[in-house]
Amino acid sequence: MLLAIDVGNTNTVLGVYDGKNLLDHWRLETSTRRTSDEYGILLRQLFQVSGIDPGVVRAVAVSSVVPPLQFNLERMSERYFKTRPMFVGPGVKTGMPILYDNPREVGADRIVNAVAAYDKHHRGVVVVDFGTATTFDAVTPKGEYLGGAICPGINISMEALFQNASKLPRVEYARPPHVVGRNTVHSIQSGLLYGYVGMVDGICTRMQAELGFEVRVVATGGLAPLVASESKVIHEVDEFLTLEGLRIIYGRNHAS
């Protein structure tokens, strides 16, 4: 079995695979202050609740955009799962040519998402990931990673608005009753939701025009479903895209 770990700046998503079958998954807060033992004990508790024996995990694959956590995750993996983890990065075979000016600059999560989306569709794709940052990643019909765009994430924008506008409250990220808000909460919700929908549709439309080939737009990340429900360009939401990419890349590096 494989334990896949996607470490983002805000959340860490974990999944356990038996072959291609995702047995269970969990979402945790990312904390650089959590020790290797705390991660190990927490994971063992999650496994216990799900009825999964930690002893059957034979491999660990990690995609991380938080470098300070690498050492603790290595120690956790070696002590609690008796295996050295594979971190997606330079030297790891992804099966995807990276056409970025400097391939080392591309976040591991962006490559993992691109690999998973192309493996699923085998055509030109644009992946929109609603994480701490909202990222757009374009892949050619040949399966080459081209690049994309990076924007502030929805939660970053919400916090910036709250912290810098003294009379504006924190609000739930939800669909308001009307685009034209009749009170402050609904007005903020309208701006956040439809503002991001407009941004996503605008950037994807411009990418489509520039790329010169048809693309399938795949969204992932915790806030993807709400934006996708209003978007005119998002074709599908794939909640487990990054975990799937980790499974695929691990397989390409440890083919039997």
Contact yes or no for 178/186 (Cβ under 8 A): yes
- b (16+ CB within 10 A) / e for 160-174: ebeeeeeeeeebebe
How far is C-alpha 119 from the geometric centre of its chain's CA atoms?
16
What residues form DSSP beta bridges with 86?
61
Instruction: Give the active site residue among 24, 37, 53, 109.
Output: 109
Return the bridge partners of 135, or none.
129, 150
> Is the separation of the CB atoms in 8 and 109 below 8 Å?
yes
Alpha carbons 190 and 198: distance in angstroms, whole number: 11
Beta bridge partners of 152: 133
Q: Are residues 63 and 100 in contact, defined by beta-carbon separation less than 8 angstroms?
A: no
Tell me the two tokens of residue 239: 């909640």
Determine whether 109 is an active site residue.
yes
Name the percent of the chain in helix, strand, coil, to the closest 5: 40, 25, 35
- Rounded to the nearest 5 degrees, what angle is found at the Cα of 150, between the Cα atoms of 147 and 155? 150
Run of H or E including 134 = strand 133-139
Measured between alpha carbons, how far apart are the two ends of the chain, in Å? Answer: 14
Active site (catalytic) residues: 109
